[in-house]
Amino acid sequence: MKFIIGIGGVTNGGKTTLTNRIEKILPNCCVIHQDNFFKPQDQIEVGDDGFRQWDVITALDMEAMVNTLRGWVENPVKFARSHGVPLSPLAEGSAPESQTHILIVEGFLLYNYKPLIEFFSKCYYVTIPYEECKRRRSTRTYTVPDPPGLFDGHVWPMYLKHRKEMENNCRAIHYLDGMKSKDELYNQVYEDIQNSMLNSL
């Protein structure tokens, strides 16, 4: 069985922390991070707001991301091995295809690109309020540092715009409260995934 989980959400909402924890506990679990598909800085346009447009879908090579995902779908065992993911030992005499393989796709714009949405077995979205998001963002160090005013001038307005778009695109989203403790979030998602996998057997 193949099971693909989307963990999306607002910037600094806790997506990666949650993803890394879930990945460690689930068997045969690979992860694709959307952040690995950003185009080079010189290909990022400057918008009418005066900022480089990092927080939009065109800043990402979504075609490459979908192709990476397809690679996993075609051969999760090969994908796991090439990414150094340990696989569960096979039960005596059973075929590799009989195993459950899980892929987590993590990113801030997962549900705004239709070719990606159709892959997901389960869609999660982490939200936090404006003040908390701004506070967390200001404590992070990025490879390309945030210029002054970027959060209010670009990051947050784009988040609101994309969230509205996403709600029209993708109906089956489970919203998660990013203000809950890391343990609460993890337990909630882990239990939900377990139940969904049992139901789809």
pLDDT recorded at residue 136: 94
Give the pTM: 0.91
Whether residue 38 is contained in a domain is answered as: yes
pLDDT in tens, 62-104: 999 999 999 999 999 999 999 998 888 875 556 666 788 999 9
Residue 93: what pLDDT?
Answer: 57
> In total, how many domains does the chain have?
1
With respect to residue 201, please indicate whether it lies within any of the assigned structural domains. Answer: no
| Of 35, 49, 152, 177, catalytic | 35
Query: Is 130 within a domain?
Result: yes
The DSSP letter of residue 58 is G
In a domain, 150, yes or no: yes
d(CA 84, CA 173): 30
Question: What pLDDT was estimated at residue 94?
Answer: 66
CA-to-CA distance for 174 and 176, rounded, in angstroms?
6
CA 199 vs CA 124, 127, 148, 192, 193: distances in Å: 18, 27, 48, 11, 10
Q: By residue range, what is the domain housing residue 100?
A: 2-194
Residue 199 maps to a domain: no
Mean pLDDT of 144-169: 90
| CATH code for position 124 | 3.40.50.300
Question: Which residues are CB-contacts of 167 (< 8 A; sequence separation ≥ 6)?
Answer: 173
In a domain, 200, yes or no: no
* CA–CA dist 32, 143 (Å, integer): 20
In a domain, 120, yes or no: yes
pLDDT tens profile 160-197: 999 999 988 767 899 999 999 999 999 999 999 999 88
Residue 16: strand, helix, or coil:
helix
Please check whether residue 29 lies inside any domain of the structure: yes
Asked if the model's pLDDT at residue 12 lies above 70, the reply is yes
First to last CA, the chain: 8
Question: Is 35 an active-site residue?
Answer: yes
